Chain A
């Protein structure tokens, strides 16, 4: 996709894949990266790349932009679950960015069960990921007057991480940095 389009999905955003009418899988974006291709590598050897050429590469060229998504739950027959999905998405299934309503529905269902999946993923920047998610989802809840969601999410994290002081400090530190 042209790089100019990357403003839609962001780190920590909730996405969903519709597998069939009443079954969809939810995931959280934990990595976005753009692999430079041969032409870009070639261009950096030029002395000073002109603005028009930079714009061409950002606007016109298809560059391989890859996002990694961690499964965090699913919805079956209208009911949201924070357990791991029974079946994974298939190749070439389309991923949609969740709307504010969908984010509110997923994150207010149950008691933050999906945090478990994030906290288990020790090879990811868990603190940054949780902080980004809580900030985005908290803002969406606040839009409908639910300012308590953010506090409740933070409290749940403190409970889940009570035996892992280092991780707790990492998550709270990241949340604090985001204000």
Chain B
């Protein structure tokens, strides 16, 4: 036992006390945001204009929703499932570089699974494993590898989209846009830009196939709508301090929409105002909606990100809406798209897998008469004391 539970228990008590106060504050804020949402629900054009003005004149880092054509509190019932549609899901997993390990390498594993709605056939699966070594390891970081993993997922989705029968939906876990936290750093920025261009090409190709690419964000913690309402509530004198003007801070979109969306319903579709979404222009422009995939009395919201061309095609929107709810219903009580879970399961790299790959490399090097540095003393002692945990995904 390495924790001082006496100390922790006192802090847990403080946490509980604070949580009660926080809950009360949030309740007040939620009431205000709900009222404001209803009050400003039809101000679509005016609010859109104000968001652009604030982003342009006061806070270029502003990240919030932009209303486009549907009222802010609109909600749309569950459409019928299409008779036939192909759903492809891809997910990635990786072995990060570990300087304490015996050998220096990384690995990206991409799992994909696809099924045809309307047919009883088992879905098909594929795994692609890419070992990264030698000069490819130069300057490797967790961020870079994560970016390579995300790109591999998207490349695989396009490959499969070209092979399967239309109409088709492609699904990834998380936002639709690719992302790296070290965007500003020169080398990574250059690499990110290259990947971004490639990704935009992938999206264009999916557009040509009339596919419906979607990013599924489970348990979303974002406040894009809440931030829009903060912009809406800001007076002229508040605009200069827009970055710190946060009257509804703490309220999340999902809490706000839990009260609006009935099970199976989706919200209105909104655009995204953010610096990182700027490269996605015109028909690739990023949009989102909230979807209640829960059950009566037990709402559970997801955010779904889609490009503009899907928003403009009611049939694609309805098919995506219906298929996502159906996917979540398939898995039972804890609602999440079945195929996305299976893609994750197909891709996941376990600690045993990592060990095996490491040993394969060690054997190969020994076979060729090469020296292997061996793991660090730190790693050795960790292993011996049995503190290692399951390898992350």
Contact = CB atoms under 8 A, between A and B. Distances in A.
Given A53-B338, A55-B120, A60-B123, A46 B332 contact: yes
Contacts of B123: 52, 55-56, 60
B171 to A, nearest CB: 15
B122 A55 contact: yes
B341 interface: yes
A56 B327 CA distance: 14
Q: Which of A50, A52, A61 has the most CB of B within 10 A?
A: A52
B121 interface: yes
Contacts of A5: none
B332 A52 contact: no
B20 interface: no
A46 B342 contact: no
A53 B115 CA distance: 10
B332 to A, nearest CB: 4
Contacts of B329: 46-47
Contacts of A56: 115, 122-123, 342
Given A39-B341, A39-B345, A52 B121 contact: yes
Interface residues of B, number: 18
A121 interface: no
Interface in A38-93: 39, 42-47, 49-53, 55-56, 58-61
A55 B120 CA distance: 8
Interface string B320-338: 0000000001111110001
Nearest to A59: B122
B19 interface: no
A55 B125 CA distance: 13
A43 B113 CA distance: 18
B119 interface: yes
Contact of B331 (A46, A52, A58, A60): A46
Contact of A60 (B119, B122, B330, B333): B122
A52 B122 CA distance: 5
Contacts, number: 48
A58 B123 CA distance: 11
A46 B330 contact: yes
Q: Which of A43, A45, A49, A53 has the most CB of B within 10 A?
A: A53
Contacts of B332: 42-46
Given A55-B122, A60-B125, A50 B341 contact: no
Contacts of B345: 39, 61
A123 B247 CA distance: 70
B122 A43 contact: no
A61 B343 CA distance: 11
A145 to B, nearest CB: 43
A35 B119 CA distance: 28
Interface in B310-362: 329-334, 338, 341-342, 345
Interface string A92-133: 000000000000000000000000000000000000000000
B234 to A, nearest CB: 45
Contacts of A60: 113, 122-123, 125, 342
A58 B331 CA distance: 16
A43 B120 contact: no
A42 B125 contact: no
A47 to B, nearest CB: 7
Contacts of A50: 120, 330
B122 A42 contact: no
Contacts of B115: 52, 56
Q: Which of B113, B122, B342 has the most CB of A within 10 A?
A: B122
Contacts of B125: 60
B334 A52 contact: no
A166 B115 CA distance: 54
A49 B120 contact: no
Contacts of A52: 115, 119-123
Interface of A: 39, 42-47, 49-53, 55-56, 58-61
11 contacts: A42-B334, A43-B331, A46-B329, A49-B330, A50-B330, A51-B120, A52-B119, A52-B120, A52-B121, A56-B122, A60-B123
Given A47-B329, A52-B122, 5 more contacts: A39-B331, A42-B332, A42-B334, A59-B122, A60-B342
